[in-house]
Amino acid sequence: MTLFSSSRRLAFLLVLTIIAAPVSAASPDPARGTGGAVASAAPAATQAGLEILRAGGNAVDAAVATALALAVVHPQAGNLGGGGFAVARMDGEATALDFRETAPAAASHDMYLDAKGEPVTERSLVGPLAAGVPGSPAGLWELHQRYGALDWAQVVAPAIRLAGDGFVVTARLEKSVAKAAQLLGRFPETAAVWLPGGEPPAAGSLMKLPDLAATLAAYAERGPEAITGGPLAAAIEIVSNRHGGILKAADLKAYRSVWREPVVFDAFGWRVASMPLPSSGGIILGQTAGLLERIEWQRTPRFGAERAHLLVEAWRRAYADRFLLGDPSTSRATAADLLDDEWLDRRARELRSRRATPSDEVRSWSLPAARESTETTHLSVADGAGNVVSITTTLNGSFGCGLLVPGVGFLLNNEMDDFAAAPGRPNLYGLIQGEANAVGPGKRMLSSMSPAVAWRETETMALGSPGGSTIPTVTVQVLLNVMVDGDDLQAAVNRPRIHHQWMPDQIEVEPDALAPETAVELERRGYRLKARNRLGEVNAVRVTSAGTVEAAADPRGPGSAGVVQPAPGS
């Protein structure tokens, strides 16, 4: 029996539904100051970023240090064996770095199909056949090369210390390992580290990762070649071969991160920059905002049914268009096509009805209900000079494909599942994707990650979220809370959220996101509502032109936010 046969898959999804923590009513204290700010999924990683800011680092130095610390203390999603995206605004210039994984050279269109042409989900999720070529070693280095102010070794140092001297296991980590024990236990290499004696490391205990510390030390000394060449790359190829993978040292060597033009759009008095292809995230944010502006969404009562109705109808169309997207080399549409004025005008005219448009009428495919929620992580950093960095990084599933590379100390991703294994059919998490996102050697799999920065004359913010297909809808709601309704940052992050992704045709609703009468009215308009305990986990920062900084971690998770106060007299 396979790990993800349909009954197990159901159980897996059910467990995800049940254990997701409800949104807590209490909010963490908002962190405010003047010397820089960090918000991330783990306190030790936030501290690493703050340490680098205090040492005189800029937002990029601190963001890279935070990301590397997450690779140690938050191995569910923080990584060196995965990839991600960074969107930054440094000295007033918005940039986007793509360090998304690529398909190995030996990957092929039908590699996840059985003889009958049916997708074999386990193959794209478990073990090294599911792994894309890691992008993080090259990406974090490249980001620092271009913008960093401190020495590279200084930026890597906090992560080396955490891995070498040890860090205190959090309750979240213990729980995540326990939940993934079946996956991690399949690989003796992984179990030896993460399930010592068959048990997850206990919350409160000290965890040391000596192999990872050595890998990080080599990375600090020699940059990405320390991992993408020589004995470490060879170790990755060996363990991949051993477990049926196709990842080769040559793939690692050939990998390049890519600077891309961010998707930039104006909305509600702000300018927003987010990730272009191979992420659909920036396009979905831009389409949503563009449609809402056209229909003067800001004039609808904030908590009424009309507002939710129009938001959902905008998302329905943006996610239908997502079907056309994929790696820039094969995508059937570009950001320019989908953010084109004429296209948005046409789509906006469809939003006039007061009834739900069935998704089948926006596109003609249908698919069973499913959900996406595994592990990704977002961090946001601001420095005192007004620069901001927004990084979303992931192994895709929690602990990726489950395989830890012995002697190297990090887990490999299972990002290959983000490709359309069988174009036109739903993936494990209900996203229906097109031929544009079919598997192909060297291609980058389509993402939903939406690291974003937004600014106007008086202030700049950075934000983003994990949550698979829900990332763009979560992110845009926090943006709208600030841009349209003037919420302060923490309130904008805390506010309950909803989600719709075209297919399945339903609105997912966090507790208290809709007033009872609003829910009734939406159902009257033809919507199906489905309760969901939590949507996303946003980490955000904001810096004003006067240099005041603010950081907000999401009460939906145990993340942490902190600020630096400049030393007296500085």
Catalytic amino acids?
Answer: 376
**Candidate residues 195, 305, 436, 449; the one interacting with ligand DON per rule CB under 6 A:** 449
Distance CA 173, CA 201 (A): 8
**Candidate residues 98, 189, 327, 375; the one interacting with ligand DON per rule CB under 6 A:** 375
Question: Percentage helix, strand, coil, to 5, in the chain?
Answer: 40, 20, 40
CB of 236 to ligand DON, least distance (A): 20
Rank residues 288 and 376 by Cβ distance to ligand DON and give the closer one.
376
Rank residues 290 and 466 by Cβ distance to ligand DON and give the closer one.
466
Which residues inside 208-247 make contact with ligand DON, applying CB under 6 A?
none
Distance CA 116, CA 123 (A): 15
Rank residues 384 and 466 by Cβ distance to ligand DON and give the closer one.
466
Distance CA 396, CA 444 (A): 13
Binding to ligand DON by residue 448, rule CB under 6 A? Answer: yes
Window of 37-45, 174-182, 367-375, 499-507 that interacts with ligand DON by CB under 6 A:
367-375
Window of 351-359, 371-379, 525-533, 561-569 that interacts with ligand DON by CB under 6 A:
371-379
CB of 564 to ligand DON, least distance (A): 28
**Candidate residues 58, 154, 257, 373; the one interacting with ligand DON per rule CB under 6 A:** 373
CB of 11 to ligand DON, least distance (A): 19
**Candidate residues 121, 396, 427, 518; the one interacting with ligand DON per rule CB under 6 A:** 396
Binding to ligand DON by residue 284, rule CB under 6 A? Answer: no
- Measure the CA dihedral 518/521/525/527, to 10°: 50
Window of 9-17, 206-214, 460-468, 520-528 that interacts with ligand DON by CB under 6 A:
460-468
Closest CA to 38 of 26, 23, 27, 54: 54
Binding to ligand DON by residue 326, rule CB under 6 A? Answer: no
One DSSP character per residue, 27-61 reads -PPPEEESSEEEEESSHHHHHHHHHHHHTT--HHH
CB of 99 to ligand DON, least distance (A): 12
Rank residues 249 and 421 by Cβ distance to ligand DON and give the closer one.
421
Please tell me whether residue 142 adopts helix, strand or coil conformation.
helix
Please, are residues 476 and 284 in contact by the beta-carbon 8 Å criterion? yes
Please tell me whether residue 145 adopts helix, strand or coil conformation.
helix
The size of the chain, in residues, is 570
Using the structure block, give the residue that is written with the tokens 């206990």: 202
CB of 260 to ligand DON, least distance (A): 15
CB of 431 to ligand DON, least distance (A): 9
Binding to ligand DON by residue 122, rule CB under 6 A? Answer: no
Residue 455's Cβ-side half-sphere holds a number of Cα atoms within 13 Å equal to 24
CB of 319 to ligand DON, least distance (A): 13
Buried b (16+ CB within 10 A) or exposed e, 7-19: eebeebbeebeee
**Candidate residues 237, 418, 521, 554; the one interacting with ligand DON per rule CB under 6 A:** 418
**Candidate residues 466, 504, 557, 558; the one interacting with ligand DON per rule CB under 6 A:** 466
Rank residues 232 and 277 by Cβ distance to ligand DON and give the closer one.
277
CB of 363 to ligand DON, least distance (A): 20
Please, are residues 257 and 99 in contact by the beta-carbon 8 Å criterion? yes
Binding to ligand DON by residue 376, rule CB under 6 A? Answer: yes
Window of 183-191, 400-408, 462-470, 507-515 that interacts with ligand DON by CB under 6 A:
462-470
CB of 83 to ligand DON, least distance (A): 9
CB of 227 to ligand DON, least distance (A): 21
Rank residues 95 and 470 by Cβ distance to ligand DON and give the closer one.
470
Window of 266-274, 342-350, 466-474, 553-561 that interacts with ligand DON by CB under 6 A:
466-474
Please tell me whether residue 284 adopts helix, strand or coil conformation.
helix
**Candidate residues 49, 224, 282, 468; the one interacting with ligand DON per rule CB under 6 A:** 468
Size of the site for ligand DON (CB under 6 A): 15
Task: Identify the H or E element spanning 380.
Answer: strand 376-383
Distance CA 338, CA 51 (A): 41
Distance CA 343, CA 325 (A): 16
Angle at 449 between CA 81 and CA 387, to 5 degrees: 90
**Candidate residues 467, 504, 557, 562; the one interacting with ligand DON per rule CB under 6 A:** 467
Binding to ligand DON by residue 374, rule CB under 6 A? Answer: yes
Please, are residues 53 and 383 in contact by the beta-carbon 8 Å criterion? yes
Cα dist. 317→310, 343, 348, 350 in Å? 11, 11, 10, 9
DSSP state letter for 383? E
Using the structure block, give the residue that is written with the tokens 């609003």: 518
Rank residues 158 and 326 by Cβ distance to ligand DON and give the closer one.
326
CB of 436 to ligand DON, least distance (A): 15
Rank residues 408 and 449 by Cβ distance to ligand DON and give the closer one.
449
Rank residues 128 and 386 by Cβ distance to ligand DON and give the closer one.
128
Binding to ligand DON by residue 394, rule CB under 6 A? Answer: yes
Binding to ligand DON by residue 98, rule CB under 6 A? Answer: no
Phi/psi at 333 (5° precision): -150, 155
Window of 87-95, 434-442, 467-475, 489-497 that interacts with ligand DON by CB under 6 A:
467-475
Buried b (16+ CB within 10 A) or exposed e, 67-98: bbbbbbbbbbbbbbbbbbbbbbbbeeebbbbb
Residue 76's Cβ-side half-sphere holds a number of Cα atoms within 13 Å equal to 23
Binding to ligand DON by residue 124, rule CB under 6 A? Answer: no
Closest CA to 175 of 566, 562, 564, 558: 558
Q: Catalog residues that contact ligand DON under the rule CB under 6 A.
A: 373-376, 394, 396, 415, 418, 447-449, 466-468, 471
